Amino acid sequence: MNLFADAIAWLLSPERLDGAYALPTLLGQHLLYTLIAVLISAAVAVPAGWLIGHTGRGREVAVAISGAARAVPSFGLMVLLVLLLGVLRIPEAAVLTFVLLAIPSLLAGAYTGVEAVDRRVVDAARAMGMTEWQIFRKVEMPLGLPLLVGGLRSATLQVIATVTIAAYVNLGGLGWPIIQGIPLRRFDQVLGGAILVALLALAVDLLLALAQRAAVPTGVRSHPAASRDARAATASA
């Protein structure tokens, strides 16, 4: 209990607001790396996932790639990329690491969202004379959006947790108090940094959970059976 009180005192100390390693600065760095990585990952994974979900082609390859990417240790991957790209490109290596770790969840959310749409709805849209693009844009994409946001939620939390190790290569972020505090045996600082990362993850998860709920189309939300099916599909993703 004393350690927790010491960690809170460390967080509330006025010294945490000054200098190059002030907590607001570290928080800004953490959010910046997370935002850049998620945006790049989404630009790559979401169109690919939508295409796979709409056409039904390449799903096995996507599942294999996603499974393999989830099994790669993040710290080992970052060190490998730093060695491959060189010490002068550490930021690029770190961002590439975060991107590679975020892609699987976004890819899975994109294609499972489209696949989860009832084929009878798609067939009805096709029977009405809609083109494939119209079917995707007006039927599959809106109905699959909650699962896509669920994938975004998972990917973002994965990146927030992984950005913590960026401090190992001197890139700042909220992992810096943890990495610096361990060799100094400043366990109040280590716990304080861990609390900040956890609070950030919880805050972002809450916001994305609200966004995921809001992404459910009104008609689906108001229909009890469809709403249960949507929640079950979201949980399975």
The answer to the question of residue 101 being in a domain is: yes
The answer to the question of residue 42 being in a domain is: yes
Tokens of 91: 């930021």
Average pLDDT over residues 133-157: 89
Q: For residue 168, what pLDDT band results from cuts at 50, 70 and 90?
A: confident
Query: How many other C-beta atoms lie within 10 A of the C-beta of residue 126?
Result: 14
Could you tell me the residue range of the domain that residue 127 belongs to? 22-236
Average pLDDT over residues 97-118: 88
The answer to the question of residue 55 being in a domain is: yes
* Structure confidence at residue 235 (pLDDT): 47
Q: Name every residue whose Cβ is closer than 8 Å to that of residue 22 and which is 6 or more positions away in sequence.
A: 16
Q: Name every residue whose Cβ is closer than 8 Å to that of residue 3 and which is 6 or more positions away in sequence.
A: 187, 188, 191
Residues above pLDDT 70, as percent of the chain? 92
Q: Name every residue whose Cβ is closer than 8 Å to that of residue 68 and which is 6 or more positions away in sequence.
A: none
The answer to the question of residue 34 being in a domain is: yes
Average pLDDT over residues 191-198: 92
Alpha-carbon separation of residue 193 from 11, 23, 82 (angstroms)? 8, 9, 25
Q: What is the pTM of this model?
A: 0.84
The answer to the question of residue 4 being in a domain is: no
Tell me how far apart the alpha carbons of residues 41 and 114 are, in angstroms, rounded to a whole number.
18
Q: For residue 53, what pLDDT band results from cuts at 50, 70 and 90?
A: confident
* Structure confidence at residue 222 (pLDDT): 58
Q: Is the pLDDT of residue 160 over 70?
A: yes
Instruction: Determine phi and psi for 57, rounding to 5 degrees.
Output: -105, 140
Tokens of 11: 């967080």
Q: Note the maximum CA span of the chain.
A: 69
- Ranges 74-88, 142-156, 170-184, 193-207: which has the least confidence: 74-88
* Structure confidence at residue 41 (pLDDT): 94
Whichever domain contains 90, its CATH number is 1.10.3720.10
Task: List b or e across 87-99, with b for residues whose CB sees 16 or more CB atoms inside 10 angstroms.
Answer: eeebeebbbbbbb
* Structure confidence at residue 1 (pLDDT): 58
Q: Is the pLDDT of residue 236 over 50?
A: no
The answer to the question of residue 108 being in a domain is: yes
Q: Is the pLDDT of residue 50 over 60?
A: yes
Which tens digits make up the pLDDT trace of 201-212? 999 999 999 999
Name the E strands within 34-178: none
* Structure confidence at residue 220 (pLDDT): 67
Q: Is the pLDDT of residue 230 over 60?
A: no
Q: Name every residue whose Cβ is closer than 8 Å to that of residue 228 and which is 6 or more positions away in sequence.
A: none
The answer to the question of residue 13 being in a domain is: no
Tell me how far apart the alpha carbons of residues 184 and 16 are, in angstroms, rounded to a whole number.
17
The answer to the question of residue 12 being in a domain is: no
Q: For residue 73, what pLDDT band results from cuts at 50, 70 and 90?
A: confident
Render 73-104 in DSSP notation, one character per residue. Answer: -HHHHHHHHHHHH-GGGHHHHHHHHHHHHHHH
Domain count, the chain: 1
Alpha-carbon separation of residue 180 from 132, 173, 177, 189, 192 (angstroms)? 54, 12, 5, 9, 12
- Residue that wins the pLDDT comparison between 151 and 123: 151
